[in-house]
Amino acid sequence: MELLAKSGFIGYVLLLLSITTFAVFLERVFVLNRFYKQVKKQGFKKELMQTIKDIENKTPEVIENLLSLKGAKIIAECERRVSFIKLASSIAPLLGLLGTVIGMIEAFHNVAGSGYSVNPAQLADGIWTALLTTAEGLCVAIPAYFGYFYLTGIIDKIELALKEDMEEVLIEVYGDRVQKKER
């Protein structure tokens, strides 16, 4: 707590950002891993077939557009709140840098206010605060960055399974009239 108090307002903002980012990461890991296990077990074919079941104009283009729209909705749901983690990984170092600048301003303000005698302890105290917020910002950003790429890896696997099932549905519905797309 002493370090947090020493880092000032920016330290508290970074702590809040860290807790929020971690909570979002845990929620997304839980939801996406559970969804991916379900996808591996069942796939998307049943859901995709349900999407095109009642369409009267069943040209390959219409069906492909409907399936693409359905796929985009599924992926958008998977990506929900993941961008917050990317934002946290970008904003945390900037907040740390802001804390550094504030700490340096305070340090030099204290030195300037002390007249002609410069107390090295005053300067060191401000610099210590400045460096502390930089480190805190990086301690939030680095795990958030790794977390973001971990989650996008899961989403990429889900998207690949979705595309494969879309191709299979199109081939199942249209047979030879639809060429299997290259991946």
| pLDDT attached to residue 177 | 59
| pLDDT attached to residue 180 | 52
Cβ atoms of residues 88 and 136 within 8 Å: no
| pLDDT attached to residue 52 | 81
Token pair in block for residue 146: 């790794």
DSSP the chain: -HHHHHHHHHHHHHHHHHHHHHHHHHHHHHHHHHHHHHHHHH-SHHHHHHHHTT-SS--HHHHHHHHHHHHHHHHHHHHTTHHHHHHHHHHHHHHHHHHHHHHHHHHHHHHHHTTT---HHHHHHHHHHHHHHHHHHHHHHHHHHHHHHHHHHHHHHHHHHHHHHHHHHHHHHHGGGSPPPP-
| pLDDT attached to residue 150 | 98
Token pair in block for residue 76: 């958008």
**Long-range Cβ contacts of 74-77 (<8 Å, 24+ apart):** 74/44, 74/158, 74/162, 75/155, 75/158, 75/159, 75/162
The residue ranges of every structural domain in the chain are 1-175
Write out pLDDT tens, residues 145-167.
999 999 999 999 999 999 999 88
| pLDDT attached to residue 27 | 98
pLDDT along the chain (183 residues), means of 10: 82 96 98 93 85 75 86 94 97 96 86 74 81 95 98 96 89 68 46
